[in-house]
Amino acid sequence: MMKNLRWPKNPVVTVGALFLLLLVAIAVHGFGLTAQMVRHTKSLLDARAEAGALAVALSQEQRSAGSSTAVGRQIATARSLTSEARLPKALKYLDDLSAQHSSWLRASPDAALASRIKARMDVDVRSSLADMDAATGTAIDATRASFLYETSMIFMLAVAIAVAAAIAYRRALGAGRHQLKDIAERNRSLENAQRLAGVGNWTNSLSTGQVTYSQEMRRIFGLSALDPAANMLRRFDHPDDAEEIKRVAGDAMRRLQPYSIDHRIVLRDGSVRHVHEQAEFAFDENGRAQHLVGTLVDITERKQAEQKLAFLAHHDALTGLPNRTLLADRLGQYISHAKRLSRIVAVLFLDLDRFKDINDSLGHTAGDELLKEVGTRLLQSVRAGDTVARSGGDEFVIVLADIAEQKHVAGIVQAVVNAFAAPFVIESRDLFVTPSIGISLYPCDDADADGLIRNADAAMYQAKDRGRNNFVFYTAEIHKTAVRRLSLESDLRRAVDEGQFELHYQPFIRLATKSIVGFEALVRWRHPKLGLVPPTDFIPLAEDSGLIVPIGEWVLRTACVQHKAWKRLGHPTQRMAVNISARQFQQRDLAHTIGQALVDTGLSPQALEVEITESLLMKDMTRSLAILRQLKDMGIGISIDDFGTGYSSLGYLKLFPITTLKIDKSFVRDLTTDRFDEAIASTVVTLAKSLALDVIAEGVETAAQAQKLAELGCDEVQGFFFSKPQAAPECEALFDKNFGYAPELSVPFVRTS
């Protein structure tokens, strides 16, 4: 039985139950004791009453046979009751009394003896009565105390039972309230879950036709609790979807099968929402359909996300224009249409000129805004049936569909070019941007989409090579050039790995002493099949591909090693000049790279000069100034190459720590025949002298040019007149060569327009 006893888990309840059991046990035990005391007291009272009657009988007894017999029976009765009352002392008195009474009867002739016996009998009776009285009083007191104790225990038990009942009632009431609260909370949680998930539910009783709707159903339909719910489910169906919904729901009702459908609803404010509706039948134990239970889910956000993903899969995220995937699909359709109708399709590959400069100077945010504005203008410049797509970066592709004759293409392309005439206002700045456009035509240039885009891309590079801001139609020659460019770029990467480069050196000649004072290191590529590749062919490729960085570092180290070798041989060369490309100048660790090369080769910083173009410095003056100051602090000379051909802002000459100005060969070429070139060269020399800068003129090819530069005060010259760039072994002979020349005076001036 104890195994089946299950104690309450709550310790308070357990202690209370044990306390009640203890009270009950004490009360039951007390009742038993009290009953015994009552019985004992009753026997005491009976014995006392009999003893009292015996005392009266003795006092009235006459010595007669009948009377003596009656008294004897009373004495026996009193002894019996006294024995039951467990009064040994009183019983002894009664035993003595019985013996005295017998003696008294026998001593009747002797009056004196009878009188003495009678007196002793009275003493025994009184003693017995006194003992009985004392015992009876004690028993009554004990019985009274026991009764009071039992009464208090009953009261305590009643109070405990009442408290327990109150606690149980309160707990039951609390449990009921908690259960009601829990049910309400669960209903609220269910409503909240349905609201958060956008799920409403409804039930249609097939027997009564009554339909009940959840609160979320009303919210989905935009109804309040006071709005009528009649025909709520079908009242808001979109007119274009209503027929399909009716068909699906009707088929399900006839077949008693579940159904599921996505459709639209139109709310009272006219807004359209997407919902997913599904329902199934509930059957009784006999298989009869009782209810149709359904749910309605608001899937508008999911549908919008799906539409957005579908849009992003086929459109550029920045401009919203078609991307390459959608472009390829549309171009394929245009080609199929043109093939059937013998029409022309034109593909325009457009690249923004010098867009990188805008990104570098104004930041990518401004660059992105510019790209969006360009996309807008391109859309406005073409016809409604044409496609404008963004290929990536600053490249756009325009497809002109359904062209009747090739001559019509140029007019549309010119409209595209004209769209760039007005400045783009970006971040309160007027930006002038120009396009370079390559054009390929279906079917004459290619028959598939990839080929047309590839050919237009090749033609675009030709447009850039021809000065930018124009357009070029694709030709077979362009294809050959593009193929050669790709092949050359592949070979260039191999050349970096295999070390196919070599340095040629062209000397600087000081006009005052007509002696070598240094060299400019010029990189050459000795192609295993093509021989020496001109720098104009591979330097732009190296810049575009980023290979100019490892090539430039190799040039720097090799030139330093060569200059150190010439110094060890005692040759009178003072410095080695190395060109720094735009891509190299953008490297954050340029100063560290140059410094490490000097440390590794052991060349003094004062023996190194870096040549940087004027336009390169002006792209980011703050950064350029920081880099040049680092180099100047190291003791490295800084020469501005092609001076006068860039921005021609003279303020930077004071700002930048420059040591040398280099007059561009375009001003030297006609120096002796064009007063303008002479004036420019003279101005540069005068400016440099006033700023305590050295001046070098490049591209000197005649003695007259050298003489004129000497007359203008130019410090140094370089050019084919003195020496073409040569490999290091051939330069050995230059150290012993006399660079004197015969002066050519009175050179006539010829003005050029």
Cα 579 → chain centroid: 46
The tokens 């079917």 sit on which residue?
443
The tokens 């028993």 sit on which residue?
139
- Residue 745: the pLDDT is 41
CA dist., res. 736 & res. 516, Å (int): 10
The pLDDT tens digits of the residues spanning 566-607 come to 999 999 889 999 999 888 888 888 999 999 999 999 999 999
Amino acid (1-letter code) at residue 517: V
Structure-model confidence comparison of residues 168 and 521, the more confident one: 521
- Residue 747: the pLDDT is 40
The tokens 């600087």 sit on which residue?
508
For the ranges 80-89, 175-184, 336-345, the lowest mean pLDDT is seen at 175-184
Count of CB atoms within 10 A of residue 468's CB?
14
Q: What residues contact residue 669 under an 8 Å CB cut-off, 6+ apart?
A: 677, 699, 701
- Residue 359: the pLDDT is 85
What 3 state SS string does 292-324 have?
EEEEEEECHHHHHHHHHHHHHHHECCCCCCECH
* Residue 535: both structure tokens together: 């720098």
The pLDDT > 90 percentage for the chain reads 42
Of 164, 118, 225, nearest in space to 23 by CA: 164
Mean pLDDT of the chain: 83
- Residue 743: the pLDDT is 54
- In the predicted model, is pLDDT for residue 609 greater than 80? yes
3-state secondary structure of 141: helix
Using the CB atoms, write b or e for 318-333: b if 16+ within 10 Å: ebebbbbebbbebbee
Q: How much is the pTM? A: 0.53
